[in-house]
Amino acid sequence: MKITEIRIFPTKSKDKRLKAYATMTFDDWFVVRNVKVIQGNSGLFVAMPSRKMMDPCPKCGFKNTRGSRFCNECGSSIEQQVHVGDKRQNEHMDIAHPIKQECRVYLQDMILDEFQKEMKRKETEGSAYRPASESDFDEVSKRFSGAEKIVSGSIHDAALDESKDIEL
């Protein structure tokens, strides 16, 4: 599996540490969005997409953001649970992430390389600079309209069509 496209979306964050969001496409078939490019203490790094952890209310079962003192549904007090480790790491969970270190390094190198290219383009174009938007992906997806048969039907049906090679 290889990365066939990386899109960088520069951002302005309040604390100036979040530099951009990235979207990666693998083999022109699979997209991972909301990868973050962050300025750390020792340089730029990549953070995989994540979501906030939720804890259920003991009274009504409503899922509240971890660390909430009161339930957003019934208003009852929520006893603070002790979570081992760094507080920030316990508040979020990666949605997708590499298993092996070499994969993490590969992804980070590719994304940071593309980020540097985008920043160079921004500097070169000046006030005429326009970052890519999600609508730009519509043009890319039109090139792969032959895959519609796989999306709308089954992979088996598409594989029976001798004019298409399906490789999984």
Segment 57-108, tens digit of pLDDT: 888 988 888 778 888 889 888 887 665 554 545 676 777 878 899 989 999 9
pLDDT attached to residue 82: 61
CA atoms within 13 A of residue 79's CA, in its CB half-sphere: 4
Average pLDDT, the chain: 77
CATH second-level architecture of 1-49+95-131? 2-Layer Sandwich (3.30)
Mean pLDDT, rounded, for 36-60: 88
**152-167 pLDDT, tens digit each:** 444 444 444 444 444 4
DSSP 142: H
Q: Under a CB-based contact definition with an 8 Å cutoff, are residues 16 and 114 in contact?
A: no
Q: Under a CB-based contact definition with an 8 Å cutoff, are residues 88 and 66 in contact?
A: no
If you search the block for the tokens 């909301």, which residue do you land on?
A: 34
pLDDT attached to residue 15: 81
Residue 143: both structure tokens together: 């090139």
User: Residue 168 pLDDT more than 90?
Assistant: no
From 18-22, 44-48, 53-57, 94-98, the region with the lowest mean pLDDT: 94-98
pLDDT attached to residue 160: 42
User: Residue 140 pLDDT more than 70?
Assistant: no
